[in-house]
C-alpha cells in the first residue's frame, strides 16, 4: 500500500508530465502557424499598405507568372448579365411566283407607317417617338433596294439592343410583317425560312416579352 507521501508524489509527477506534453503540443501549433503564414508574401513596403486580398493576388502573381491565376479567378466578382437579348429577330416574306418587292411597292405598302428609306438602300421603320424600331432589307444579294432592283424575298430584322421602346418595336415588327404578308399575298417565314404559323408568332412574342421582363427585373 502507498502512503500519503507516495500518493502525493505520483500526483505531482502526473501533473508535471501533462504540463510538459501540453507545452510540446503548443510549440508544434505555433510552428505550423508560422509555416502557413510563410505561404503568403508578407514582405511589404513601408510606404504602401496592401489589404489581404491584394496581397494574396500579388503573392500568386509573383510565385509563377506562367500559371493560371486560379485563386484570383475564384475571387473575381462576376457582374450579372442584364443584356435583354443578343440575337436578332428575323421574319422573311417570300413570294415563289413573283418578284413583287421593290423600293416603290414597299413604299406604297408602308404608307400608313412611319418609315425612312435609308441612303444605303434599306427601310427603317420608326416607332411612335420616331426612334428606329427595325429594318426591312432585300432578302437577296446585295441586300438593298434601289431603282430597277426587285426581289421575291425581303427580311424584317429587329435588333433588340439599344431600342428606345423594345416592346412597342416588337409589336410593330409583328404587325408590319403580317400587314405586308396580306398586301403581297406571300409566305411568312422564320429566320430559317420555314413557314410560320400564328401560333409560332405568338410564341415568338411571348419569348420576347419574357426576355424583356427578366431584363427589367435584373436591371432593378
The verdict on residue 164 lying in a domain is yes
Give the range with max mean pLDDT: 64-73, 84-93, 105-114, 211-220: 105-114
Which pLDDT does position 56 carry in this prediction? 31
Give the range of the structural domain holding residue 60, as residue numbers without chain letter.
4-75
Residue 39 pLDDT exceeds 50? no
In the chain, how many domains are there? 2
Which pLDDT does position 7 carry in this prediction? 78
Same domain, 114 and 67: no
Q: Residue with C-alpha cell 426576355?
A: 211
Residue 123 pLDDT exceeds 80? yes
- State mean pLDDT over 151-155: 94
Helices (H), the chain: 4-38, 52-63, 70-75, 103-109, 166-184, 198-219
Which pLDDT does position 32 carry in this prediction? 52
**pLDDT tens digits for range 160-199:** 888 888 999 999 999 999 999 999 999 999 989 999 988 9
pLDDT averaged over every residue in the chain: 77
Backbone angles phi, psi at 11, to 5 degrees: -65, -45
Residue ending a domain, choose from 44, 75, 106: 75
Give the CATH number, domain containing residue 165. Answer: 3.30.1400.10
The verdict on residue 80 lying in a domain is no
Give the range among 19-28, 32-41, 97-106 with minimum mean pLDDT: 32-41
Residue ending a domain, choose from 22, 51, 75: 75
Q: List, in sequence order, every beta strand (DSSP E) within 107-177.
A: 115-117, 123-126, 132-138, 150-151, 153-158
Same domain, 32 and 68: yes
The verdict on residue 110 lying in a domain is yes
The verdict on residue 133 lying in a domain is yes
Which pLDDT does position 196 carry in this prediction? 92
The verdict on residue 137 lying in a domain is yes
The verdict on residue 83 lying in a domain is no
Same domain, 184 and 118: yes
Backbone angles phi, psi at 187, to 5 degrees: -85, 140
Q: Which three cell numbers stand for residue 118?
A: 435609308
Amino acid at each position: 500500500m502507498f502512503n500519503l507521501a507516495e500518493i502525493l508524489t505520483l500526483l505531482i509527477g502526473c501533473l508535471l508530465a501533462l504540463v510538459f506534453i501540453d507545452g510540446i503540443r503548443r510549440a508544434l501549433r505555433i510552428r505550423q502557424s508560422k509555416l502557413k503564414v510563410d505561404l503568403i508574401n508578407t514582405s511589404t513596403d513601408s510606404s504602401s499598405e496592401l489589404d489581404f486580398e491584394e496581397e494574396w493576388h500579388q503573392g500568386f502573381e509573383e510565385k509563377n507568372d506562367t500559371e493560371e491565376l486560379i485563386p484570383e479567378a475564384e475571387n473575381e466578382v462576376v457582374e450579372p448579365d442584364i443584356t435583354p437579348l443578343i440575337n436578332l429577330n428575323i421574319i422573311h416574306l417570300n413570294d415563289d411566283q413573283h418578284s413583287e418587292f421593290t423600293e416603290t411597292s414597299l413604299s406604297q405598302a408602308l404608307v400608313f407607317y412611319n418609315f425612312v428609306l435609308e441612303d444605303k438602300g434599306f427601310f427603317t421603320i420608326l416607332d411612335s417617338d420616331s426612334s428606329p424600331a427595325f429594318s426591312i432589307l432585300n432578302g437577296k444579294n446585295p441586300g438593298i433596294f434601289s431603282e430597277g432592283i426587285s426581289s421575291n424575298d425581303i427580311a424584317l430584322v429587329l435588333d433588340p439592343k439599344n431600342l428606345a421602346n423594345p416592346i412597342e418595336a416588337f409589336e410593330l415588327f409583328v404587325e408590319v410583317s403580317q400587314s405586308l404578308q396580306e398586301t403581297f399575298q406571300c409566305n411568312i417565314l422564320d429566320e430559317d425560312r420555314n413557314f410560320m404559323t400564328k401560333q409560332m408568332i405568338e410564341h415568338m412574342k411571348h419569348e420576347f416579352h419574357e426576355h424583356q421582363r427578366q431584363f427589367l427585373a435584373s436591371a432593378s
